[in-house]
Structure 1
Amino acid sequence: MTVDAVEEPFRTQLTVRLREGHALLGVDLPGPCGFTAGNGIEILWMGPDEYLVLAGPGRQAELEAALSRESGVLAVVDVSAQRNVFRLTGAHAADVLAHGCSIDLESSPPGTCVQTLLARTGIVLMVREDGFTILVRQSFSDYFTAWLADASREYVS
């Protein structure tokens, strides 16, 4: 199999608005269109003062409380139910995404994080060493998985 798609259910997702700061929970903040990782979390740049903190399932209350104590934090909102998270790996993962995404994935290094459209569906796309993580709104999840199955058909044996 040259493409593998796996859903990562129940991931903790917290939107954080900042007044100022260079780190959250001991992890450096990413620059524009990037993400950083450490201490069991990932921080995605979503806008000039907005970040998305991703973590394993069930960590909402713990991380929300810790983030509320950080200096410079204006707001923390649990958006875990807003998006489903998928991991796409394999030799042809970028080829599958190219069927519906205008981002040049060949020139996007690992650590890139962008909000874009994939087959007319708004997504957050994270470029990793071993593939991609895709965050898609829950209401588009069925459409996205059907599109993904169709787009990857030629790469699956």
Structure 2
Amino acid sequence: MADTEALTPLADRVISTADATVARIAEVPFRAQVGLRVDPKSSAAERIATAIGAMLPGDPGGVVVTRDLVVLWLGPDEWLIIGPVGAQDRIERTLNSALGGGFGAVVDVSAHRTIIEVSGERARDLLNSGCALDLHPRAFPAGRCASTLLARAQVVLVCCDARAPRYWVVVRASFARYLADWLADATTEFAPDVNDLAQL
């Protein structure tokens, strides 16, 4: 009988960094991810808001957090809904039911992407070494997201916490290993120099 155990894109990667106090990199595995396209001014969007317990974010880069969902604004009529492990079927059913045959699309993209969490005191600097966005808390506070390039890989970057820096990097599965390795390697730029430590 074939082995059907699911594996994440980074299942065989032990992500080690030069200094874990500088930045920590870890996969957030198996989160449900469902893409939604719908006219935000339609009655279907209102029904979806009622069904998920929150209005769909309407401003560019907006993020809405409900009891168990994170809703990311990707475009004027496009959102990515991230939920608990294994919840994609439930989310799909909820959205399709609320859509009610109206114009729109609901697509399970859970296997298409994974999430890499980057946290630690130099997390912002680490990300900025490969990303052109201004990640200062005044420009990119908690509760914001952006589609951007990180180390030439297309990602959706989410600021989860700006004070104790913590970010989600939503990346296509085919780029996950490359990006995790790049991030781990890039931390060496921010790790204390061995000679400096010897003088302490």
* TM-score interval, normalised by the smaller of the two chains: over 0.9
3-state SS, counterpart of residue 176 of structure 2? helix
Aligned counterparts, 1:90-109, within 5 A? 90-106=120-136, 107-109=139-141
Aligned counterparts, 1:40-59, within 5 A? 40-59=68-87
Aligned counterparts, 1:4-153, within 5 A? 4-19=24-39, 20=42, 21-22=45-46, 23=49, 25-30=52-57, 31-71=59-99, 74-106=104-136, 107-129=139-161, 130=164, 131-153=166-188
User: How far is the alpha carbon of 1:90 from its aligned partner?
Assistant: 0.8
Matched length: 157
CA distance in 2, matches of 1:73, 1:44: 20
For 1:54-80, what per-residue CA distance to the aligned partner results, in whole angstroms no more than 9, with x for missing partners? 011100111110111114661110000
User: How far is the alpha carbon of 1:153 from its aligned partner?
Assistant: 1.9
3-state SS, counterpart of residue 61 of structure 2? coil
2:110 maps to amino acid: S
TM-score w.r.t. structure 1 length? 0.93
TM-score w.r.t. structure 2 length? 0.74
Question: Identity over the aligned pairs, expressed in percent?
Answer: 39
Which residue does the alignment assign to 2:17?
A: none
For 1:35-65, what per-residue CA distance to the aligned partner results, in whole angstroms no more than 9, with x for missing partners? 1101200000011111110011100111110
Contact preservation (8 Å) 1:43, 1:51: yes
Contact preservation (8 Å) 2:22, 2:187: no
User: How far is the alpha carbon of 1:104 from its aligned partner?
Assistant: 0.2
Q: Which ranges of structure 1 fall in alignment gaps of 5 or more residues?
A: none
1:134 maps to amino acid: V
